[in-house]
Structure 1
Amino acid sequence: MRNSLPESLLRGGARWRAPYAADLEAGARRLHDEAMDPLRSPFQRDRDRIVHSTSFRRLKHKTQVFVRPEGDHFRTRLTHSLEVAQVARSLARPLGLDEDLTEAIALAHDLGHPPFGHGGERALASALGAYDGFDHNIQSLRVVTSLERRYPRFDGLNLCRASLEGLVKHNGPYRAGPAPAVAAELAGELGLELAAQPSLEAQAAAIADDIAYDAHDIDDGLRAGLLTLDDLADVPLTGRLLCAIKAEYPRLDRSRLAAELVRRLITVMIADVLAETVRRLEAVGIATPQDVGAAPSFLVGFSAALEAEEDVLKRFLFARLYRHEEVMARVKVGGEVVQALFERFMTRPELLPAEWQAGLETGDKKRLARRAGDYIAGMTDGYALAEYRRLFDRTPDLG
């Protein structure tokens, strides 16, 4: 059967690839050797493994901005990840990048997020401060390299070198100070160059994260009544778009006006990134993946003008939405739940599920702390609350 299939299908239906796109052959190396799939490229296979993972499904019940939102239409970590992947593919295709690799990195970038959003992350980072700390990007690596347990021959998802490198460098290369242990270990085993710039696919996924945050947090903030269109009219970027929409549709109701604002904001940002990225590629003379790694800075990004406007928008959202007293009150309680769970497991490790207790017999505090942290980081908001009720016989008030 294999020999009767067209070569394009054997390579996963490959589209046109720019010469600076990720090197499929070099990037396909895995920690554990596997035979090539006859129907999917290595990067398609990575994307599929991520989508079918337990950790990915859990994102459905993990906080994005609003803790335990009462409505059905607020973003969760899952819907956010899907939206990041859509924006990332919209960048990858016109640039001739590998869309499947871009999508895989985008879908996996939040797998390590704990319950209750950034409040939960801050609580775990504080609790694990004496035990190498906690960072959701590094936790995502731990998820895909060891914590997912679905396959008979290895732990983790055994993703390709290029996918792992994209996760390692989600926030850029490591050029100052030591890399986290899991990143350094991967670098040694797979030959990752931690000081080199990430692939253009990883850069596209990273800025897609920013675009999705900006646009969809506005949508959720308006839906929750914590932001108004009048507020956004005073922000240069959104104000300019609102003026254009109102001029074209003077009688548009506020619901459709908000939706059109979000749509146009995404479109404007994607168009700007594409134009600026092409300009940078030409200015630096990028012709190969190696040129990308050696570049002095990110090549996928906003123009200077839009970057300035986006910075104003981000500061507005931080002050008016992320730091809103209603949001902060629930985030605070969520963080307290995470802190209490960690402290209880550290003093009474026998309360961990049986499968999480293996290897803790030595009394190694660092191992126990990491095990408790991994267990808590994998929880959904609802499961964390259920564990809190089990261990403390009371329910925290999330408002």
Structure 2
Amino acid sequence: MSMSWEKLLCSERLGARPSKTELGRSTFISDQDKIIFSGAFRRLARKTQVHPLATNDHIHNRLTHSLEVACVGRSLGSLVGKKLALDGNLPEKISSGDIGEIVKATCLAHDIGNPPFGHTGEEAIRSWFNNEGSQYLKELRPCEANDLKTFEGNAQGLRILTSVENHLNEGGMRLTYATLASFIKYPWTSLPSTDGQRPKKNKYGVFTSELEIFKEISNATGLMKKDGDD
């Protein structure tokens, strides 16, 4: 079974909601706007980016970093889009620029689930749930407890985009399937990763709470299913 660009670039929104057609503002630019105007994106300004000792007070934060990455991503995505168009692989309603806009939206959101202090913050959350906070895991299923004991900013990012921000538990930001599928860097849950059954050990992109949403995104975009997937 092979994937198709027609499905991968699906412009429907999470929940099978149709996208609005607006003059001068494509569906995928609308995705960017939803991300930029969200509280979760603004909070990146208070999260540090890895940086050397500075000689001034202009600290490079996650918000600045995300905007820079988005600029580079849009250019690279547009170049790929032009190549796909030349080879006749783009669907009729998709332009090469749309590929750049999808990548830009993904880049804007790529750190949106990171806790303060980045990977160090992730380690602090994991440590707490493996020690003092373990009492709060007793009533959870093993897969749910493992999500907290191995907390991952990438999975938290998907949760923010699809569940928490804007429309609580009703689609979140309601982004397009194409943007959400592009966002998921590690398309699996925590237990298979912890058990060494995935390419990246202890890296995953989907919490158990968003597993059904992940399946919806995968089905809408025609992502290939691997052996051992739920």
- Alignment TM-score, normalising by the size of structure 1: 0.39
**Counterpart among 143, 151, 157 of residue 173 in structure 2:** 157
Q: Which digits, 9 at most, give the CA deviation of each residue in 1:191-216, with x for residues without a partner?
A: 1556569xxxxxxxxxxxxxxxxxxx
Q: Unaligned stretches of 5+ in structure 2?
A: 82-95, 131-136, 138-144, 199-203
Whether 1:138 aligns to 2:122 is no
Structure-2 separation of matches of 1:152 and 1:171: 24
Query: Structure 1 residue 122: deviation in Å?
Result: 1.0
Distance 1:127 1:34, change over 3 A: farther
- Residue of structure 1 in register with 2:216 after alignment: 189
Query: Structure 1 residue 103: deviation in Å?
Result: 0.2
Structure label with greater radius of gyration:
1
Distance 1:188 1:37, change over 3 A: same
Q: Which digits, 9 at most, give the CA deviation of each residue in 1:209-262, with x for residues without a partner?
A: xxxxxxxxxxxxxxxxxxxxxxxxxxxxxxxxxxxxxxxxxxxxxxxxxxxxxx
3-state secondary structure, aligned to 2:14: coil
- Equivalences for residues 268-279 of structure 1 within 5 A: none
Amino acid at match of 1:185: E
Structure-2 separation of matches of 1:152 and 1:115: 22
- Alignment TM-score, normalising by the size of structure 2: 0.64
8 Å Cα contact 1:110-1:136 kept in structure 2: yes
Cα root mean square deviation, aligned: 3.4
Structure-2 separation of matches of 1:122 and 1:153: 27
- Residue of structure 2 in register with 1:4 after alignment: none
3-state secondary structure, aligned to 1:27: coil
Query: Structure 1 residue 34: deviation in Å?
Result: 4.2
- Residue of structure 2 in register with 1:167 after alignment: 183
Structure-2 separation of matches of 1:193 and 1:126: 37
Percent identity of the aligned residues? 37
8 Å Cα contact 2:162-2:173 kept in structure 1: yes
- Equivalences for residues 62-73 of structure 1 within 5 A: 62-66=47-51, 71-73=56-58
Distance 1:34 1:85, change over 3 A: same
- Residue of structure 2 in register with 1:116 after alignment: 117
Aligned residues: 176
Q: Unaligned stretches of 5+ in structure 1?
A: 1-19, 198-399
3-state secondary structure, aligned to 2:20: coil
Larger helix percent: 1
- Residue of structure 2 in register with 1:28 after alignment: 11
Query: Structure 1 residue 127: deviation in Å?
Result: 2.7
- Equivalences for residues 161-240 of structure 1 within 5 A: 161-168=177-184, 170-171=185-186, 176=197, 180-182=207-209, 184-190=211-217, 191=219, 195=224
